């Protein structure tokens, strides 16, 4: 990915989505597009038109945090978008290169014991490239269709965009697809030199029109908490609340825990899934689906 293009396209996409009325600009004359003009963004951010134009050409070198925050206010960026703008600026002002070792993908025994000790909720860990790294037994049972899918190969982004089965497994497929692309865009801004991440993005841009259209929108998002709906082939429809947690010992990894509303059908079905996970396959009931 060309870093200057990333910066310029992100700023233009945010500028074009704001109308003069939303920005509090009265009048403004005839417009070919509904968004703000460059000079209007510059005025709102308190910088010169030439300075803003330089930024929109993709040059964030030397731009201070104060100017970035002013620009974020002018473009009405949310928290994730503001963080993304700062990530892009940091990439344009790299620190002196330091020798880095390849990150360890081995799951520590202590981490696996922690996961396994959580018996009433599905828990799983993935890296920033959307690879599933580790699960507890219930998490493995919940995501078995994804983990076993040959198109996904244990990668949630590949499964979402390259496997037709994902549309059945995730009833809210459109929203889930939006979230995955926005999260990948966030990670790419934070780690522009991660070759394995950019290779994954390049593969999905090449192989999936759905991914390519979403990638071009330059949306970013923090994936911290929310509701996940799943249609599981063994237990049926599930509605789960999720919480995301960082793992400081493995900065590339993120842990997700799913819980069900007490007394809900989902709670009963998760309990059933847990019992099926410890029942030998020969003793499990045959699915009627």
pLDDT by residue, tens only, the chain of 289 residues: 688 899 999 999 999 999 888 888 876 667 777 789 999 999 999 999 999 999 999 999 999 999 999 999 999 999 999 999 999 998 887 665 444 544 567 899 999 999 999 999 999 999 999 999 999 999 999 999 999 999 999 999 999 999 999 999 999 999 999 999 999 999 999 998 899 999 999 999 999 999 999 999 999 998 889 999 999 999 999 999 999 999 999 999 999 999 999 999 999 999 999 998 876 544 444 433 3
User: Per-residue b/e over 205-218, b at no fewer than 16 CB within 10 Å?
Assistant: beebeebeebbeeb
Where are the CATH 1.10.260.40 domain residues in the chain?
3-92
The architecture (CATH level 2) of 109-283 comes to: 2-Layer Sandwich (3.30)
Q: Which two tokens stand for residue 42?
A: 């510059």
Q: Which long-range contacts (CB under 8 A, 24 or more apart) does 183-188 make?
A: 183/221, 183/223, 184/130, 184/157, 184/215, 185/84, 185/215, 185/218, 185/219, 185/220, 186/80, 186/83, 186/84, 186/87, 186/220, 186/221, 186/222, 187/128, 187/129, 188/1, 188/6
Q: Yes or no: say if 139 and 124 are a contact pair by the CB < 8 Å rule.
A: yes
In whole angstroms, give the CA distance from residue 192 to residue 127. Answer: 15
pLDDT for 279 = 61
Query: How many Cβ atoms sit within 10 Å of the Cβ of residue 114?
Result: 14
Where are the CATH 3.30.450.180 domain residues in the chain?
109-283
Q: How many CA atoms lie within 13 A of 89 on its CB side?
A: 21
pLDDT for 223 = 83
pLDDT for 34 = 76
Give the helix/strand (H/E) hosting 96.
Answer: none
pLDDT for 237 = 98
pLDDT for 91 = 87
pLDDT for 171 = 98
Q: Yes or no: say if 230 and 199 are a contact pair by the CB < 8 Å rule.
A: no
Q: What are the Cα distances from residue 117, in Å, to 112, 114, 140, 280?
A: 9, 5, 14, 21
Q: Yes or no: say if 42 and 52 are a contact pair by the CB < 8 Å rule.
A: yes
pLDDT for 29 = 64
Nearest to 39 by CA among 30, 21, 51, 29: 51
CATH 3.40.190.10 fits 3-92, yes or no: no
Whole-prediction pTM: 0.85
Q: Yes or no: say if 208 and 161 are a contact pair by the CB < 8 Å rule.
A: yes
In whole angstroms, give the CA distance from residue 206 to residue 209. Answer: 8
Query: How many Cβ atoms sit within 10 Å of the Cβ of residue 37?
Result: 16
């Amino acid at each position: 990915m060309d870093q200057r293009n990333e910066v310029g396209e992100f700023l233009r996409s945010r500028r074009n989505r704001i109308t003069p009325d939303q920005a509090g600009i009265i009048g403004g004359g005839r417009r070919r597009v509904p968004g703000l003009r460059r000079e209007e963004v510059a005025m709102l951010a308190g910088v010169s038109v030439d300075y803003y134009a330089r930024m929109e050409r993709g040059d964030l070198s030397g731009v201070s945090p104060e100017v970035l925050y002013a620009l974020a206010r002018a473009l009405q960026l949310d928290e994730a978008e503001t963080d993304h703008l700062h990530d892009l600026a940091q990439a344009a002002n790299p620190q002196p290169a330091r020798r880095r070792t390849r990150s360890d993908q081995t799951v520590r025994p202590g981490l696996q014991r922690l996961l396994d000790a959580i018996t009433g909720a599905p828990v799983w860990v993935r890296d920033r490239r959307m690879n599933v790294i580790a699960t507890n037994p219930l998490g493995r049972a919940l995501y078995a269709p994804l983990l076993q899918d040959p198109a996904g190969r244990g990668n949630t982004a590949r499964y979402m965009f390259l496997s037709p089965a994902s549309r059945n497994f995730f009833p809210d497929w459109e929203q889930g697809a939006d979230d995955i692309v926005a999260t990948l865009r966030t990670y790419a801004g934070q780690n522009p030199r991660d070759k394995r991440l950019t290779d994954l993005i390049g593969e999905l841009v090449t192989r999936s029109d759905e991914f390519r259209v979403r990638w071009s929108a330059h949306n970013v998002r923090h994936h911290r908490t929310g509701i996940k709906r799943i249609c599981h082939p063994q237990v049926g429809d599930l509605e789960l609340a999720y919480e995301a947690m960082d793992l400081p010992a493995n900065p590339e990894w993120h842990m997700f825990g799913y819980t069900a509303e007490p007394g809900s059908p989902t709670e009963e079905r998760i309990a059933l899934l847990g019992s099926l996970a410890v029942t030998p396959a020969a003793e499990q009931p045959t699915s009627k689906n």
